[in-house]
Structure 1
Amino acid sequence: MSKIKFTALLLMAATISLPITVHSQEHPNLIMTKAGIEKVRKNLGTVPLFDASVASVQKEVDAEIALGIDTPIPKDFSGGYTHQRHKLNFIIAQKAGALYQILEDEKYAKYIKDMLFQYEAMYKTLPVHPQERSYARGKLFWQCLNDSNWLVYMSQAYDAIYDTLTKQERDTLENNLFRPFADFISIGNPQFYNRVHNHSTWGNAAVGMIALVMNDEELLQRALYGIEDDGLEIGGRDNDGGFIKVEGQKAGFLANLEDPFSPDGYYTEGPYYQRYAMYPFLIFGLAMHNVKPEMQVFEHKDNVLLKGVDALLNLSDADGEFFPLNDGQKGMSYYTASLVTAVDIAYQYGKQDPALLSIAEKQNNVLLNEAGLLVAMGIRDGKTQPFAKSSINLSDGPDGQQGGVAVLRYGNEDLTAVFKYAAQGLSHGHYDKLSYSLYEKGDEVLQDYGLARFVNIGQKGGGNYLKENKTWAKTTIAHNTLSQNEQMHFAGKYEIGSQHHSELYLYDDANENVQVVSATEANAYPGTHMHRTLAVIKSAGFEKPFLLDILKVNSDNKNQYDLPFYYMGQVLSNNFSYDSPAILKPLGKKNGYQHLYLEGKGQPATTSTQFSWLGNGKYYTLTSATDVSDELLLTRLGADDPDFNLRRDAAFMIRRKDSDNTVFASVIEPHGSYSPVSELSVNSDSHITELKVELDNNDYTAVSINDVQGNSKLFILSNNNAAPSKQHKLKVGSKTYSWRGTFHYTEM
């Protein structure tokens, strides 16, 4: 779009000083209402968790008030002082607004008013941020995303003190600060605002929230439906590698509510960014519910926002930490403030599910509004029930037809396998079709690396994404999945990957002792078809459940296949010999291989290769069916990393050369424990003596597991017919097996 057109749009927007439609309305009306606040005030002193939350916020806000207000001229990336100061300002202002409404203490209203007028005086002449890295630079912050954060929170603060201001004061703030701010992040930056992405969700919510406070219909329409004539080029790119605009794609809050969510509530960017986006989704959704209930935002797409909260909670491990699918920082959990918001709102506006109270109880904090009060009252009144996470299969894509993510759980998260067969995941997606990670309770057994970023740590790239996110974290070899010829899935190109998704073949969790998920991928490498099946199995002869992993590959050409397992712990033993180089060298030159040191190289000594390690006081053994021609590689992350931006994680890798059609079969077996206090080692050896691919053809694959007690287990998969009613009959060795359904498991 030309500068002339941008200027014309901005001038046109600047002349709109009155809302298109004017209705009388009362304040507050966003996340707090007059009726809700009356209920809160009436119950003060009688609801322990709510009272404690008020006291905690009051202590925090009072300390900031005592320090005085600082609105410095912006200059820093995230992590720097000016960034952190402006961020803290909007957080404290929002909290001060809630305190003013609840406690009716004028000092909180005065604090917000003074802060807003400092911003009003600054914003009139404020240029764009001096840091130039972002595709959409903000003014207060280095990117429009953070400016949108500011407006979402400041809208709530303004709403809380709206009635304390004179009309002249409101006009000054709205004409000199809020409307110019909303115009800048929207029509001034359509490449940020007019797309489907978590960034745009924040922008849409920001414009919509201030529109509701100011009763500005023009801004509200822009928030809900985007900018009709944005001047953006179809197929334009952003600096994250994602498309800005797609032919026929809608924009605005409702489009962001529609497209990224599947009918199951899974958000295509992954749980880390779902957590981040749920705040603007739910806060603006609540505001719309209070001001424009006829829009039925909470009911949109069959209550997908409320389903999203449930999906997100189910995408966490036993400690409440979200699985780091796609770009995701490890350690982010449902203890974050955005999930306090999500749980409280979902409780009030869902079915008041008592299981949500158990999460809120762990969070030990609630919103300072009616939703938070209801949660705290439910806990006080003994309504809490456990939030029991079980196995779940979540579809991806707006219609649920673009793959998905399956989580197989045994028992009380004694073993959890997270299998990703999803769509690309927008610009935050990784090139890791049919990858998985494995957990025992809250401990990682086989890990997903997550993202390469030190969020808000200024010393590391200004707290922003590091180049290693593209050169390592997004690459295929960085995940527990198949790499072919040292290339990335879809050649590492977003425009290719975004056109394809894996296909679910089978999901069956009916029998807790044998839970199976299976999916196929036919586009990651042209001419190659991958079919991966995971089974969480609890056998009577094994102390703990184990994971059976079968990866069947069919290709039109001979290839080199690499299958890594990123284990977490200290190597204990293996049944093969290997050579360790005197000088460490990278495993390859690009596509992530340049970051892997080759620490050891050997070959299988038997057809069942075993590799054991100790992690978090627990023993694990990987047993794989191997060919004598396979190479066994021990790798460690850290090559080509002069700034030490990457963790020094290790992997065991099976390399199979000159192969077209083949099967990788493995078992990951948790067993035993070690206590550093008693120094007692229990059950440190594997139960498995042999793992063998008994049969493999186009129709069936059969894998046997033999244990130290002389028992045998057999798993058979029908490769081409997943119909549950299909009757099968197959001879494996000297025995014939008959069964109905896609797979058959037997113990002998």
Structure 2
Amino acid sequence: MYVKKITKLVLTPLVLIITTFTASFVVQAQEHPNLILTKDGVEKIRDNLGKVPLFDATVSRVKQTVDKEIAAGIDTPIPKDFSGGYTHYRHKQNFIIAQKAGVLYQILEDDKYAIYVRDMLLQYEAMYKNLPLHPQERSYARGKLFWQSLNDSNWLVYMSQAYDTVYNFLTEEQREKLENNLFRPFADFISLENPAFYNRVHNHSTWGNAAVGMIGLVMDDEALIQRALYGIEDDGLPIGGIDNDGGTIKVEGQKKGFYANLDDPFSPDGYYTEGPYYQRYAMYPFLIFALAMENVRPDLKVLQHKDNVLLKGVNALLNLSDADGEFFPLNDGQKGMSYYTASLVTAVDIAYHYGDQNPQLLSIAEKQNEVLLDEAGLDVAIAIRDGKAKLFTKSSINLTDGIDGKQGGVAVLRYGNEDLTLVFKYAAQGLSHGHYDKLSYSLYEKGDEVIQDYGLSRFVNIGQKGGGNYLKENKTWAKTTIAHNTLAQDGEMHFGGNYKTASTEHSDLYFYDDTKDNVQVVSATEVNAYPGTKMHRTMALIKDDNFEKAFMLDIMKVKSDEEHEYDFPFYYMGQVINGNFKWESPTDLEPLGDKNGYQHLYLEGKGKPATNNTKFSWLGNGKFYTLTSVAEESDELLLTRIGANDPEFNLRRDAGFMVRREAEDTTFVSVVETHGSYSPVSEASLNSNSNIANLEIVEDNNDYTAVSITDVKGSKQLFIIANKDASVSAKHSLTIDNKKVSWVGPYYYK
């Protein structure tokens, strides 16, 4: 047992009693397995085998998978590939299967699984002693088994669990060989030898911290546990600078280690600043190491750290998904990633077992159709068997960003049963995976994208595409401002595309209100993206009886100290139906610009407004959509398509519609309607036309912006926002069309 040294301490009799009790407890806690599985937990699982359908089914599937791998034999090839290549896949598969095999050994008491894990670990021990750095040199922190230390850390997180399950099966000589020649050198390599990787606040470091900490817990190595929790004290890194992955290497007074990665990236609401795609990825090491600490060192209360922020994070993450359970692709995010991924099985089960046993989580577990093979998974499966599951309902939510919740945030407005969902991003930069897209949004109908966020430019684990890694187009397109549904000024990116500058700034919430059934509103401001220019965007989901479905209202008020060229894009998903303006299509496609993302946009059409309203309609997923925008006579209307300067076809050929306007101060007002349907089977086209006859700005000054919406039957709706005072108790009065309108609060709608 390792005890932290305390100097100048006088031990009173009471302290001696407490110390003796604690020492006894720790010794008992060091029995194996104790990391994720525990002695008591294993006994409970064995007692319930054959009695809990979902758990039994999971055991059966895992057994089938592991038995197939055992029959194929163990292969630990010399590393050579990027992600997507055979050696990368094989080593990844090895650590996943080893962890599962160890669990089966404990549950089924069949030695063949322990033998498999033992033989694999000894094979790695023989290899690792003389293993050089990985031959691929792209990463800022090369690994040995994998091309980057991140994946080496993945390996150790899983192999720590495998080692714990077979610890007592191994001889003392075998354990000494593994610990001295494999595990300690491995832990030292990813930490002491890679401080730029290990001492960051980033999902990479979270994996590294968890890996070092978990193997430290298995080996009862207090030095490794402390290194995991607090990082490397004297890492030799210079103050400042940016590594080639875009993350800060070191700043004055920077915190490091697992606690720092718990504190800084998470807001008090559980939102993770890198976005849901990487929160999903990081939740596994966060939760699995926290659970291991709960089992071995409960005195440190890691799982409860920062007011249970990890358990809050599970709820936040589930709420950052669409109607199909797919995570919104904020920042670097691959579309299609969902809560069906294995890391979310871990998250849901742990959150249920160690949280307040929210029965709504059980309905997610039912959809996942698998559980962890530990005590948490067993309890979830038992609760499902006993009929305790309730539907997980996602309502509107506003999640703050930043360590103290004061660095912007993300608002998700939902109407009905996710019939229409607006995702509004007014957050901080999001570390190295952030995009330059202040006040951007995306719009969904059920699980279908209406107005899309592009996500990332990467074919994950597809070796033919850049080794499965990030492509250069991620920086030249996906991160750029013009790639998002927000305002671009003078063809430049927010903050000039400078990571250091962007990392010090965030947008500010003006107000958020989801208390009304027929209208929900979020409003935020951004004053730093373009110095001298203030953007104030207000977005609302509105359901009016004169409209078939809910619609989105968008008001972007721009104030600047000089004239600029503003581009305001809409990346719609579907086939163009028509517009109320004429456009010319060039015979030869040319890029819209030569930098900042414009070089990747083909100009497919160009026109001018024909009336005071510009209308543009498309068909997507069997439904019609219409964008109605208040037009100015000088506007240019551009039809664009992604794909210019992309000879390797790394980018999707998605379409966009853009309003270009030269002005000093201006206000963009738009409505996106979802309406009607089309069936290719019956060939019936229903309600394919817009229901808006006129969209008008009837008042716009420093104090108020008022928008009138007239439908095709002549009914009018009025929306007013108070631009200076967002207090819920403030009284306002405004005369519109010779009628006095009075209200209390930041906005009016009727």
Q: In structure 2, what is the equivalent of residue 346 of structure 1?
A: 351
CA RMSD across the alignment = 0.8
Q: State whether residues 417 and 436 of structure 1, in contact with CA within 8 Å, keep that contact through their aligned partners in structure 2.
A: yes
**Deviation (angstroms), 1:23:** 4.2
User: Is 1:660 matched with 2:680?
Assistant: no
Instruction: Report matched runs for 1:307-322 at 5 Å.
Output: 307-322=312-327
Match of 2:420 among 415, 419, 432: 415
- Rounded to whole Å, the distance in 2 between the matches of 1:496 and 1:546 is 36
- The partner residue of 1:530 within 531, 535, 541 is 535
Q: Deviations over 1:489-508 (max 9, x none)?
A: 00001000000000000100
CA distance in 1, matches of 2:439, 2:122: 53
Q: How does 1:93-104 map to 2 (within 5 A)?
A: 93-104=98-109
Matched letter for residue 269 of structure 1: E
CA distance in 2, matches of 1:135, 1:343: 33
For 1:527 and 1:160, the matched residues in 2 are separated by 60
Matched, 1:145 2:150: yes
Query: Structure 1 stretch 291-300 or stretch 313-322: which is displaced more?
Result: 291-300
Q: AA paired with 2:612?
A: T
SS of 1:552 mapped into structure 2 = strand
Secondary structure in 1 matching 2:193: coil
Counterpart position of 1:265: 270
CA distance in 1: counterparts of 2:561 and 2:239, whole angstroms: 35
Letter in structure 1 aligned against 2:300 = M
1:177 partnered with 2:182: yes
User: What is the TM-score of this pair, normalised by structure 1?
Assistant: 0.96
1:47 corresponds to: 52
SS of 2:71's equivalent in the other structure is helix
Q: Which amino acid aligns with 2:60?
A: A
How far did 1:40 drift? 0.3
Query: What are the superposed Cα offsets for residues 148-203 of structure 1, whole Å, 9 maximum, x if unpaired?
Result: 00000000000000000111110000000000000000000000000100000000
Q: Secondary structure at the match of 1:584?
A: coil
Equivalent residue number for residue 741 of structure 2: 737
Once the 2 structures are TM-superposed, how far is the Cα of residue 512 of structure 1 from its aligned partner? 2.4
8 A Cα contact 1:23 1:215, kept in partner: no
In the aligned structure 2, how far is the partner of 1:410 from the partner of 1:140? 48
Partner of 2:192: 187
1:77-102 per-residue CA deviation (whole Å, 9 max, x = no partner) reads 00000000000000000000110000
Which SS does the other structure have where 2:576 is aligned? strand
Residue of structure 1 aligned with 2:302, choices 293, 297, 317: 297
Q: How far does the alpha carbon of each residue in 1:449-482 deviate from its partner, in whole angstroms, 9 at most, with x for none?
A: 0000000000000000000000000000000000
Query: Is 1:610 aligned to 2:615, yes or no?
Result: yes
Residue type at the aligned position of 2:668: F
Task: Kindly indicate whether the alpha-carbon contact (under 8 Å) linking 2:707 and 2:719 is maintained by their aligned counterparts in 1.
Answer: yes
CA distance in 1, matches of 2:260, 2:117: 33
Which amino acid is the alignment partner of residue 725 of structure 1? S
Q: Which whole-Å CA distance do the structure 2 matches of 1:22 and 1:368 have between them?
A: 25
Equivalent residue, structure 2, for 1:4 = none
> Match of 1:355, SS?
helix
Alpha-carbon distance in structure 1 between the residues aligned to 2:738 and 2:540: 25
Counterparts of 1:266 and 1:202, CA distance in 2:
18
What secondary structure does 1:164 align onto?
coil
Answer whether contact 2:577 2:617 (CA < 8 A) is retained.
yes
- Does residue 454 of structure 1 match 2:445? no
What's the CA shift string for 1:197-231, capped at 9, x where partnerless? Answer: 00000000000000000000000000000000001
Q: Report the alpha carbon displacement of residue 22 of structure 1 after superposing the two structures with TM.
A: 8.9
Given that 1:22 and 1:215 are in contact with CA atoms closer than 8 Å, whether structure 2 keeps it comes out as: no
Match of 2:681 in 1: 677
Alignment match, 2:509 = 504
* Structure 2 residue 284 is the aligned partner of structure 1 residue 287: no
Aligned AA (2:629): S
Q: Which residue does 1:546 correspond to in 2?
A: 551
Q: In the TM superposition, what is the alpha-carbon distance from 1:672 to its structure 2 partner?
A: 0.6
Equivalent residue number for residue 464 of structure 1: 469
Residue in 1 that maps onto 2:259: 254
1:89 matched to 2:94 = yes
- Alignment equivalent of 1:584, drawn from 579, 582, 589: 589
The one-letter amino acid paired with 1:742 is P
Q: Is 2:407 aligned against 1:427?
A: no
**What is the match of residue 62 of structure 1?**
67
- Please report how far the alpha carbon of residue 734 of structure 1 lies from its aligned counterpart in structure 2 after TM superposition: 1.6
Partner AA of 2:680 in structure 1: P
1:722 aligns with 2:726: yes
| 2:713 paired with 1:709 | yes
- Distance in 2 (alpha carbons) for counterparts of 1:378 and 1:617: 39
Contact conserved, 2:26 with 2:296, CA < 8 A, in 1?
Answer: no
The AA in structure 2 aligned to 1:602 is G
| Structure 1 residue 242 corresponds to structure 2 residue 247 | yes
* 380, 386, 401: which one aligns with 2:385: 380
Check the 8 A contact 1:355/1:384 in 2, yes or no. yes
Where does residue 437 of structure 1 map in the other structure?
A: 442
Cα deviations by residue, 1:226-248 (Å, 9 ceiling, x for unpaired): 00000111112111222121221
**Contact 2:267–2:403 (Cα < 8 Å) also in 1:** yes
Give 1:299 deviation, angstroms. 1.2
Q: Distance in 1 between matches of 2:309 and 2:680?
A: 47
CA distance in 1, matches of 2:542, 2:303: 39
Q: Which residue of 1 aligns with 2:698?
A: 694
Contact 2:539 2:554 (8 Å CA) reproduced:
yes
| Amino acid in structure 1 at the alignment position of 2:85 | G
TM-score, normalising length from structure 2?
A: 0.96
Which residue identity does 1:457 align to in structure 2? I
Letter in 2 for 1:54: V
Matched position secondary structure for 2:168: helix
Q: How many residues align?
A: 725
Match of 1:399 in 2: 404
Q: How does 1:65-144 map to 2 (within 5 A)?
A: 65-144=70-149
1: CA distance, partners of 2:181 / 2:514:
58
5 Å matches for 1:149-168? 149-168=154-173
Please give the per-residue CA displacement for 1:601-629, whole angstroms capped at 9, x wherever unaligned: 00000011100000000000000001010
In the alignment, structure 1 residue 390 sits paired with structure 2 residue 392: no
Are the counterparts in 2 of residues 90 and 153 from structure 1 also a CA contact under 8 Å? Answer: yes
Equivalent position of 2:201 in the other structure: 196
Q: Which residue of 2 aligns with 1:9?
A: none
The match for 1:13 is none
Separation in 2, partners of 1:239, 1:674: 49
Identity of aligned residues (%): 76
Instruction: Check the 8 A contact 1:264/1:304 in 2, yes or no.
Output: yes
Q: Distance in 2 between matches of 1:245 and 1:42?
A: 51
Counterpart Cα distance in 2 of 1:44 and 1:246: 52
Q: Distance in 2 between matches of 1:703 and 1:581?
A: 36
**Residue equivalent to 2:6:** none
Distance 1:334 1:383 in 2: 20
Q: Tell me, yes or no, if the aligned pair for 2:421 and 2:445 is still in contact at 8 Å.
A: yes
Q: In the alignment, what sits opposite 2:328?
A: 323
Structure 1 stretches of 4+ with a deviation exceeding 2 A read: 21-24
SS in 2 for 1:320: coil
**CA separation in 1, counterparts of 2:519 and 2:593?**
39
Structure 1 Cα separation of the partners of residues 681 and 368 of structure 2 = 31
Shift in Å at residue 537 of structure 1? 0.2
Contact 1:504 / 1:519 at 8 angstroms: preserved in 2? yes
Partner residue, 2:569: 564
Between the aligned partners of 1:306 and 1:223, the Cα distance in structure 2 is 20
User: After superposition, what is the alpha-carbon deviation per residue over 1:418-437, rounded to whole angstroms, capped at 9, x for unaligned?
Assistant: 00000000000000000000
